[in-house]
Amino acid sequence: MKKWLIVILVFFIIIALSGTGIYIKLIPSLKEYGKLEIERFNQLIISHCYFTSDSQYDNLVIIERGEDNEIELLDFDMVKVNQLATAIVMDIEKTYADLEEGTYLASDDSYYQRRLQQVSRSGIISNIPIATLLNLPAFSFVSPSIPVRYKHLSSVGSSIVKNVENYGVNHVMVELSIEINMNLTMVYPFFEQYHTHSIKIPVLLEIFQGQVPLVYSQ
């Protein structure tokens, strides 16, 4: 009887060691797939984050012209820009907080709302089939999967990105974006991976007649 117990124990040890070895070899691919999944999920949230009415974007650019109608001063209304950035960041933070607390409720039957409610309940961003990691996509539908979860490490940050440049003949192009920065930890079975993700949200793209003021050309 003891002999059979030893044989069974050795068998399970061999299986465990083999499985551990395979899992370790899969970790680089798992990290890559996990990174893609978490970035896709972040992009989904940010693409549906808070945007105000069109009037919020009016008069964001301040232009002063001289007597010859040339642009002498070109600036941004940073009060409005910062208000918009704050509203977007607060909406994203609230969404992540509801997801982590498991309290997010879908407000309609859209894919976005159903996806977030599912993640809120399970805590799982994605299930990556082992067959996919082994480059065997044909078997992915019958293969066991590795769950990918996440933890939000700190508050969402934002920065304002401005760009002013000449465009064509006697025109100036003005771009304004809000860059959202998030610090996340992707949680896999037996290990975690720290990840910083930045996404740029275009806010304004306008073309005005005139040349870029000298202060922007230096």
pLDDT at residue 69, rounded to an integer: 67
CA distance 130 to 19: 12
User: Which range of residues forms the domain containing residue 130?
Assistant: 2-217
pLDDT at residue 28, rounded to an integer: 80
- Label each residue of 125-190 as H, E or C: EEEEEHHHHCCCHHHCCCCCEEEEEEEECCCCEEEEEEEEEECCCCEEEEEEEEEEEEEEEEEECC
pLDDT at residue 58, rounded to an integer: 61
Local confidence pLDDT in tens for the 218 residues of the chain: 567 777 677 777 777 666 666 667 777 888 888 888 888 888 888 877 766 445 555 677 777 777 666 666 677 778 888 888 888 888 888 888 888 888 888 888 888 888 888 888 888 888 888 777 777 777 777 778 888 887 776 667 888 888 887 777 777 888 888 888 888 888 877 777 888 888 888 887 777 777 666 555 44
pTM above 0.85, yes or no: no
pLDDT at residue 214, rounded to an integer: 56
Closest CA to 122 of 95, 139, 154, 99: 99
The structural domain count of the chain equals 1
Q: Which amino acid, 74?
A: L
pLDDT at residue 213, rounded to an integer: 61
pLDDT at residue 203, rounded to an integer: 80
Q: Quick one: 125 exposed, middle or buried, by C-beta within 10 A (0-12, 13-18, 19+)? A: buried
Closest CA to 180 of 161, 198, 192: 198
